[in-house]
Structure 1
């Protein structure tokens, strides 16, 4: 979470503030820094630090405290939005793509959403794509027969009597403009139809 109104830095930014390269920072300064300054809660890939705390550490001053109260404009990661809204992080990302939540803003190479957006998503009911749990309509789904099934069955019967050449999946695939796998299924269904007759 990035608290409202607080600038943030990743490790590259911290090294720049210290006036050294990132490799020098990691070699000479990072261990002491990591002991004194904690990354912002929920930040990962990259770890983020409060800029005011970084400046205080570099100046040898006491670290200012982060805000204790939440704010509607706090920035949250997809996982944090999911915790507020009762969703998985992947659902939050999918909702952003599908317009069910704002697309968020990009900062430090990842997407962030405000706490207000997360709470608004939490108040909206979930949209189910399948059968609702506990639904009483247990009727099996109707499957429409393939319109070419009867024609293929006739061809198989003719081929069995020797009046036509054997029917192949490759030939059916080309004729009906379907994949060979679909043509194989069609042949199997036609054979089953003939066996029932």
Structure 2
């Protein structure tokens, strides 16, 4: 979350503010900085830091606290927006593309939404409500019967009676143009078909 009226800095910005390169910053100053200044809540990739806190640390002053009261113009990540709206982060991103929530603001390589937009989205019903409670369509889908199974069952019966040749998986594979393993499955299903 980026609090309303506050600037956010990446580590590149912090190093530039200190007047050193990022590699020098990481070698010489980063450990002391991260001990004193915590990233803004919810910021990841990149980590963001409050500009007022950064400036206070660089000037050797006490680090001021972040505002605790939520404001309607606070900028929230997709996950934070989803938490306020009672939805998942992926739903927030999808809603932004379909117009159910405003498209947000691009900042520091990611999209942000205002707290007011998240609260407004919480009041509207979801476009897709999911499965209706008590739905009866949970049975497995029916598949069309395999026409080869009765043929193989008849060939097996003829082989047992001595009126037909022996049924082998290799012969069935050649006859139907399938693998030997599929032919073995046909034989197994034909045996249960006759039983």
TM over 0.5: yes
Q: Cα–Cα, structure 1 residues 36 and 145, in superposed 2: closer, same or farther, change >3 Å?
A: closer
2-structure distance, mates of 1:140, 1:6? 52
Aligned residues: 185
1-structure distance, mates of 2:185, 2:23? 63
Judge conservation of contact 2:153–2:190 (CA < 8 Å) in 1: no
Judge conservation of contact 1:159–1:167 (CA < 8 Å) in 2: no
Q: Which residue of 2 is the match for residue 111 of structure 1?
A: 111
Q: Please, which runs of 5 or more residues in structure 2 have no aligned partner?
A: 159-163
Q: Please, which runs of 5 or more residues in structure 1 have no aligned partner?
A: 175-179
Q: Which residue of 1 is the match for residue 129 of structure 2?
A: 128
User: How far is the alpha carbon of 1:10 from its aligned partner?
Assistant: 1.0
Q: Which residue of 1 is the match for residue 193 of structure 2?
A: 194
2-structure distance, mates of 1:188, 1:121? 57
TM-score (norm 1): 0.68
3-state SS of paired residue (2:45): coil
2-structure distance, mates of 1:94, 1:185? 47
Q: Which residue of 2 is the match for residue 159 of structure 1?
A: 155
TM-score (norm 2): 0.69
Q: Which digits, 9 at most, give the CA deviation of each residue in 1:117-157, with x for residues without a partner?
A: 3223322334333342xx2x4465363331x52x2234313
Deviates more, 1:154-163 or 1:25-34: 154-163
3-state SS of paired residue (1:167): helix
User: How far is the alpha carbon of 1:40 from its aligned partner?
Assistant: 1.5
User: How far is the alpha carbon of 1:19 from its aligned partner?
Assistant: 0.9
User: How far is the alpha carbon of 1:83 from its aligned partner?
Assistant: 2.1
Judge conservation of contact 1:169–1:187 (CA < 8 Å) in 2: no
> Looking at CA atoms only, which structure, 1 or 2, has the larger radius of gyration?
2
Structural RMSD (CA): 3.9
